[in-house]
Amino acid sequence: MKKKSVSEQIESCGVIPVIRASSSEEARFAAEAVRSGGIPIVEITMTVPGALQVISGLAKTMPQLLLGAGTVLNKKMARQCADAGAQFLVSPGFDAGMVATAKKLKLVVIAGALTPTEVMAAWDAGADFVKVFPCCNLGGPAYVKALHGPFPQVPLIPTGGVTIETAADYIRAGAVALGVGSELILKDALKGRKSEAISDLARRFVELVKEVRKQLTT
């Protein structure tokens, strides 16, 4: 998929499930569950055991799934994730080498940032999106709104503590999409292999984003 199409799909869906799991099998299970719930995107963090193998496996078995690699810390990891089949890369903080490598590989890059200075650095380096992390620790939606004011041109994706209760406020604050981890990939549902619990939440997140966007345009 071309870079522009990847960016458009991320913005259109508005939700990026961040999958952290204790095993490769759990990660694959989570990916299937969110897809069943209507989210055709997953971010497999590099903290998952065998993360590169999970990405390459999903690329083969679920080619319709938009695959991202998360917790990508440097340019070496960026290349490894690209080779595995990742279509977008996400970092928890800003690393210029990682962003430059993603651009060279023609992959969408979501660079992590927290302060205004970091947002500026990530955007100036060529990030396609800026991940505000950990967002809830600095005020959640109010902090995104504060950043959106001076940086209306920067597509912000709050991550870290985003819940079904706060999701609407983040979109109203100016977020173009939401990075959602344990509040979507429920630990108990993951351990108990309760796919419907995850799928139901995925549907709720997607419907909520659509409804709020509709309200904002009317």
Report the half-sphere exposure of 158 (CA within 13 A, side-chain side): 27
**What local confidence, expressed as pLDDT, does residue 173 receive?**
98
Does pLDDT of 164 surpass 90? yes
Q: In what order do the strands lie in the sheet with 129-132?
A: 156-158, 129-132, 108-113, 88-90, 66-70, 41-45, 15-19, 178-180
How does strand 66-70 pair with strand 88-90?
Answer: parallel
Does pLDDT of 179 surpass 90? yes
Stretch 2-21: mean pLDDT, rounded? 97
Does pLDDT of 174 surpass 90? yes
Number of domains present in the structure of the chain: 1
Which ranges constitute the DSSP H helices of the chain? 3-13, 24-36, 51-61, 75-84, 96-104, 116-125, 141-148, 167-172, 187-191, 195-216
Terminal-residue alpha carbon distance, the chain: 32
Stretch 63-68: mean pLDDT, rounded? 96
**What local confidence, expressed as pLDDT, does residue 20 receive?**
96
pTM: 0.97
**207 CB-near residues (< 8 Å, 6+ apart):** none
What is the span of the domain harbouring residue 203? 3-216
Domain with residue 121: its CATH number is: 3.20.20.70
Q: Which one is catalytic: 43, 60, 145, 194?
A: 43
Compute the distance between CA of residue 180 and CA of residue 173 in angstroms, rounded to an integer.
16
Q: Which of 88, 112, 109, 90 is nearest to 100 (CA)?
A: 109
Tell me: the pLDDT tens digits for 26-39?
999 999 999 999 99
Tell me: the pLDDT tens digits for 107-160?
999 999 999 999 999 999 999 999 999 999 999 999 999 999 999 999 999 999
**What local confidence, expressed as pLDDT, does residue 1 receive?**
80
Does pLDDT of 183 surpass 90? yes
Q: Which one is catalytic: 26, 32, 75, 131?
A: 131
43 an active-site residue? yes
Name 42's bridge partners.
67
Task: List the structure tokens of 184.
Answer: 């979507």
131 an active-site residue? yes
